[in-house]
Amino acid sequence: MGAIERTPNGLAHILLSQQETTPRLSPPEFYDALALLLRGIQQRVVSQGLSLEKIAAIAHPGRFLADGTLASGTTPNLGQAFGEFDGLSPADELKQRLGCRVFVENDAVSQMRFGLDVLLRDPAVRPSLLGQTIVYLGIGTGLGAGVSQVQANGKITVVTDGHLFDMCVPGYGQGDKIAEELLTGPAIAGRIKEANLSLSAPINPPTPERISALITDAAALPQHQQVARQIAEMEGDILAAIIEAIHAGEIKKVRLEPQPGGPFLRHLDEPDRAWSFTDRLIVKGASRFILGGSVGSNSILGAAIQKQALLGLRQRGLEKIKIFQIPANSADAGLLGVVHAASEEIL
């Protein structure tokens, strides 16, 4: 959360920022707390003698429907009970509390904007992205995603929020395992804990960062290095399966419904989360994918996952697909991305 000013060249500059843990509150209390934090930022800007244009731009979890409301079951990291935020309009909630213009978009889409901006400034990468449909996969604590079209002049047009955390991954489980269960930081932590059961010395801490360090640590135990490389290869194979399905336009979505003391119920392609025919057609044939998030942009683990995925795609005859890592894992990615979007759409 922070205050940003725009410079003449169109870049955003962060004037000040602060980081807070997302509170586990019911919607009214959550938006009250968010509005309070935003007003605090506004007051800090004014107290420093800086000009303030009262516009709130928010990168918010969840899949946004056409009317600005949140699709069912797409904000599992918010609230105290499952589905509390379903059907709410974050923009309306904050307008009522702040009394100013509010722009809200999916947080992963904001990260995608940031990543594309970084990559398009690289003369070695830019030609490969111009005129292309780009699919963003942000591998971190969850799996964020977005789909954009980059025009010949570099202008970025968001096509869909591309919410893919609940996408079925072909070939895993009974065909109804979703991406968030397989390709995230917590999924990697789960694989480490499973491997630890058979190791003479456990891998600690069981985190993606530790796996990244082990891949290149010559002094590490051989069994630890082996597990680290195996996990990177498994995640790369999963990424290849996800990309192949997206490229084919075969995207099936599953909503997991928790059951007390039992397995999740799995609901396939419900109306407010199923991809439309138009969106499927847009991504069908897409050959440019970018990786972000704390895992996807990691220079060691993310690169190993990328390499394995490209190998798997070549084996599937999809050698034209290219995967680019965002060369910066900025905690401010969503902040910068959403302000860029707001400056284009409401300023």
Block residue for tokens 């959360």: 1
Strands 322-325 and 288-292: parallel
- Report how far residue 186's alpha carbon sits from residue 11's, in angstroms, rounded to the nearest whole number: 33
Q: Tell me, what's the pLDDT at 226? A: 97
What is the reported pTM? Answer: 0.86
Domain ranges in the chain are: 2-106+335-345, 123-185+226-326
- Report how far residue 11's alpha carbon sits from residue 1's, in angstroms, rounded to the nearest whole number: 18
Q: Tell me, what's the pLDDT at 82? A: 80
Answer CATH for 123-185+226-326 from 3.30.565.10, 3.30.420.40, 3.40.50.300, 3.40.50.880: 3.30.420.40
> What pLDDT, in 10s, does the model give residues 285-317?
999 999 998 899 999 999 999 999 999 999 999
Q: Tell me, what's the pLDDT at 329? A: 57
- The secondary structure element, H or E, covering residue 190 is helix 185-196
Q: Tell me, what's the pLDDT at 168? A: 93
Q: Tell me, what's the pLDDT at 120? A: 93
Per-residue confidence of the chain (347 residues) as pLDDT tens digits?
A: 455 555 544 555 566 666 777 788 999 999 999 999 888 887 877 777 665 566 788 889 888 888 999 988 888 889 988 889 999 999 999 999 998 888 899 988 888 988 898 899 999 999 999 999 999 999 988 898 999 999 999 999 988 877 888 899 999 988 789 999 999 999 999 999 999 999 999 999 999 999 999 999 999 999 999 999 999 999 999 999 999 999 999 999 888 888 888 788 888 888 877 888 888 999 999 999 999 988 999 999 999 999 999 999 999 999 999 999 987 655 566 666 776 676 666 55
Which CATH topology does 2-106+335-345 take? Nucleotidyltransferase; domain 5 (3.30.420)
Q: Tell me, what's the pLDDT at 257? A: 83
Q: Please, which residues bridge with residue 168 across strands?
A: 178
Q: Tell me, what's the pLDDT at 72? A: 85
DSSP for residue 168: B
- Supply the DSSP string of 58-79, one letter for each residue: EEESSPBPTTSPBPTT--TTSS
Q: Tell me, what's the pLDDT at 214? A: 97
Q: List the beta strands (DSSP E) in the chain.
A: 2-6, 12-17, 55-60, 101-106, 133-139, 143-150, 156-160, 254-259, 262-268, 288-292, 322-325
The two domains 2-106+335-345 and 123-185+226-326 share their CATH topology (first three levels equal): yes
102, exposed or middle or buried, with CB in 10 Å at 0-12, 13-18, 19+? buried
